Each structure stands twice: as structure tokens, then as C-alpha cells.
Amino acid sequence: MTNNSRSEKNKMFFYESFAEEFDSKMNMYDTNKRLQVFYSELLTEDISGKKLLDAGCGTGWFSKIAVDRGAHVTSMDLGENLLTQVKKKCNSTRVIGSILEMPFEDDSFDLVVSSEVIEHTPEPFKALEELHRVLKPGGVLVISTPNKFWYPAVAFANLFNLRPYQGLENWTSWWSMKNQTKTIGFSIEKMVGVHAFPFIHPVVYPILDILHGANSFLGPIMLNIALRARKNSIV
């Protein structure tokens, strides 16, 4: 393994390194907004009895809601520390694995959710291909990832140590995400934005909530990209 690849691997495990403190460091407004988009805007149908993969589950917030709604949930992340936190929230099947090479057979799941994960890998669209592989034909993917439109603001914050983040950040643009999702073999059913700007502070929550009502129109210039896509059936 080269020094560069070793460094990338270490960065992929950034969240695993402080899993016990992860929830206390999270901005729950951001987490709850993404949960709202996933489960109240993009995945509104009955999912009870469905096999659902939470790919890059973190500490389990997205797994918990899916379990509460009756899905048979598999929670996957890179390390045992994160999965221990998942166990505290819900009764899902917990699996250690990388989103770049998942330990599942082809066509294994009816549904896959993955929030703010693919950008933390060296190859985001390879991760997207893996999500496509493990979905059954006709299965639904709901995914979110940061929008490259706003990356200069993050680079500025990193330059001046305003944001203590040491993981991988390979952001993609709205249009690249849209085109690659289709190229891989999905049909996009809905695509929206999350957060109108990156300054997520209590004083601006009311403004963000108002602008969220236009998240389809403003999506290309919002902070995060979220979409619902269906794996094309084999003809």
C-alpha cells in the first residue's frame, strides 16, 4: 500500500475514531432536516417488510427511522465503534464494510439509503456503482451528498482552521451527480436540495426552513444534493 492510499484509508475512518462522541458533535438541525427529506419527502411509501440497507450508517439515525417504519434494516459502516452506537438506537442487522466494496450479493436489497457518505471515499461514483449493484432491479435508492457549488466556502474554512475536519472530501456537482446516476443505470424520480447555504446556525434556521420550500427549484445551488432513483429493470 502506498503512503497516499494509506492516508486515504485513514481519512475514511475519521468518524470511526470518535464514534462515542459523534452524536454530541453533530448539528442535529442538519441531521433532522436530512431525515425529513429522506423519509417525509423522498421515501414516503410503506416500507414495512422491505429489505433496506443503510450504507454508511454512522451512529444509526437513518437506520432507526427505517426500523420504526417496519423495514428489515441492515446497517453498514467501516468500524465496530460506529455500529455499537447504532445498536443503542435500533435493532438492525449490523455489518462492517466499505461502501466501495460491500459484503453483499448482487440484487440483495429492495431499498438503499445513504446520507453524506460517498464524498468521504476516494471514488464517489464507484460507491454509487456499488449501491446500484446491491439493489434489486426496480429497487429504490435515496442518497444525499454535498454540492460542489459550495466547496470554496469549505476550503476557506479549512484553510483558517475554522472547521476541524480531517476526513476525505470529494464533493460532486448537481449536474455530475444527475448525469452519473443515470449513466450507472438509475432512473431519477426526484432530486432536491438541502440547506440554502452552509451557515447552519440557530439564528438562520427560520430562513433555511422558508427556503427549503423551494428546494426543487433551488436545488442546483443548495448546500446538499438529495435524490430518489430507481434501479432500471433488466429487459
pLDDT score at 62 = 98
* Span 182-220, pLDDT tens digits: 999 999 999 999 999 988 889 999 999 999 999 999 999
Instruction: Give me 221's grid cell.
Output: 445551488
Question: How buried is 31 (Cβ within 10 angstroms: 0-12 exposed, 13-18 middle, 19+ buried)?
Answer: middle
Residue 166 has a pLDDT of: 59
**216-219: long-range pairs with CB below 8 Å, 24+:** 216/190, 216/191, 216/192, 218/193, 219/174, 219/191, 219/192, 219/193
Which CATH number is 3-231's, of 1.10.260.40, 3.40.50.150, 2.60.120.10, 3.40.50.970?
Answer: 3.40.50.150
CB neighbours of 197 closer than 8 A, spacing ≥ 6?
A: 150, 204, 208, 223
pLDDT of residue 135: 98
pTM score: 0.90
- Across the chain, which has 235 residues, the per-10-residue mean pLDDT values are 52 62 84 97 98 97 98 95 95 97 97 96 96 98 96 68 66 96 98 93 95 97 97 80
**pLDDT of the residue at 118:** 96
Amino acid at 99: I
